[in-house]
A and B are shown apart, each in its own frame.
Chain A
Amino acid sequence: MTLLEIKNLKKVYTARFSNQQTEALTTVNFSIEAGEFVSIMGESGSGKTTLLNIISTLDDATSGEVFLEGSPLSKIKDKEISAFRRNTLGFIFQDFNLLDNFTIKDNILLPLVLSKTPVREMEERLMPIVKNLGIEAHIDKFPYEVSGGQKQRVAVARALITQPKIILADEPTGALDSKASQNLMEILKGINETGQTILMVTHSAQAASFSNRILFIRDGAVYHEIYRGDAPAEQFMDRISKSLKVLSSRGELDE
């Protein structure tokens, strides 16, 4: 079943005081099946983050459309957009975006509280998730009292607790050391194996190698895509590296 479908997506930024226009996305087309773990790779400025922001409804497309389960995101009314974001999407950010005034527990529960979920249900949902992520010992601490890797796991818990249709992760390993990155990616892979769809933007070939499919973006368009298939991790890493090399060398040739 196709969960997410992106058709002819285009985004043009116009500078505020001039007519100079920057094309962040030219034409993007791809789709994601339910249960997939897809990574998007590309160099800085390639349009990855713009793409993710549009899918997250944090930004509007200039033209084209994003369909989630067949319905276009642009048709969602302004009033419903926050509830949509809360209930349908889960977010993981590079810099965690945890709130220092909430305990770990309250940070995780935040989207549920905003949806006015009954307290009992919140607590029922909380425990299995924090146990699974290995942070149940820390739930009464504050974010500034735990390590970066733990913070990102808290963010994962916050993304999972609403049982979203898709998790959108923006450079989730960007602020973590290699050991914590490895650990986080294993967790995300585990989550994906339970059937959760994940779309991740990343720089890191290592992180991307945990996904089933990788899209390479360049100059605002999907340039290349590879599937992991049944390939072992090392072989997949190798293919990623080669693709990245091709991506950058072709870019030089183009210029």
Chain B
Amino acid sequence: MKTFGGPVLFLDRSDINTDEIIPAKYLTEITKEDLKPYILEDLKLPGFDPKGPKTKTAKVIVSRANFGCGSSREHAPWVFEVNGITAVIAESFARIFRQNMFNCGMAAIELPAADIDLIMSHAGDDDAAMTIDIEAGSLTMSGGGKTKSFNFEISPFDKALVLAGGWVDYADSKY
């Protein structure tokens, strides 16, 4: 199983699409590692710099509704993975992106909008960090001297994929 949790990158907008996460012109790369420099390259958000230090240190992304919409490219989870980001917390996800995350043994965790608001309130904290316990279904957000825990649910199948480290071995042994 992968490890989850650490410094948080806040992307405070709905409908962040996979073209913004990894532009199509980089889909000609044959290895996942080659995608690394291009993470979130086309995402335009006030105060966000894809090449900035927060992108480099982040282990978790927090965003709003419909995260990962658009193309089916699994290059989107991969570019996160090779940059050390293994979890995305959002109000909701596009179906293909969400499944791609779990298929890679990564976590796409949905929380209600009110919880995302509370987590987003840490966006200005330099020490904003999150711990995530997949088995217990809980995460803890800390920063600026405050700490708060949240419970989440992921489907039993998706949890099994995270625990197994992905879908290929699981399916090959079973079907």
Verify that A and B bind, or say they do not: no
Which chain B residues have a beta carbon within 8 Å of chain A's beta carbons?
none
A residues near B (Cβ < 8 Å) are none
